[in-house]
């Protein structure tokens, strides 16, 4: 019983690591794309649009970080309880 539990915990840790890595990669890609878009907008359009885009990006990144932190905390709680 303890052996299977340990296996499950290791599996949970692996899943969490994979999820975190995927989220980080996605965030990096999104940020790069947004930076490129912002540069294009700066070249083409006015500064007001850029400010709006930057605010939206910051909000999205904050939301993603909060979600990731919550997922990790929940998983840690589950691991501790088991």
| Segment 21-34, tens digit of pLDDT | 888 889 889 889 98
State the chain's mean pLDDT as an integer.
Answer: 76
Is residue 3 domain-resident? Answer: no
* Two tokens, residue 57: 């990006």
Band of the pLDDT at 79, cuts 50, 70, 90?
Answer: low
Band of the pLDDT at 10, cuts 50, 70, 90?
Answer: confident
Is residue 41 domain-resident? Answer: yes
**Residue 82 confidence (pLDDT):** 55
The residue that leads in pLDDT, 6 or 22, is 22
Is residue 74 domain-resident? Answer: yes
Is residue 54 domain-resident? Answer: yes
Region 9-21 average pLDDT? 79
Is residue 67 domain-resident? Answer: yes
Is residue 72 domain-resident? Answer: yes
Region 34-57 average pLDDT? 76
Domain of 73? 22-81
Is residue 12 domain-resident? Answer: no
Is residue 9 domain-resident? Answer: no
What's the total number of domains in the chain? Answer: 1
Q: 34 vs 13, 20, 58, 81, CA distance in Å?
A: 31, 21, 11, 40
């Amino acid at each position: 019983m303890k052996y299977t539990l340990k296996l499950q915990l290791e599996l949970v840790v692996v899943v969490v690591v994979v999820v975190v890595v995927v989220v980080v990669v996605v965030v990096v890609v999104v940020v790069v794309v947004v930076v490129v878009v912002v540069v294009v907008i700066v070249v083409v359009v006015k500064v007001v649009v850029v400010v709006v885009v930057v605010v939206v990006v910051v909000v999205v990144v904050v939301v993603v970080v909060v979600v990731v932190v919550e997922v990790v905390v929940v998983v840690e709680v589950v691991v501790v309880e088991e």
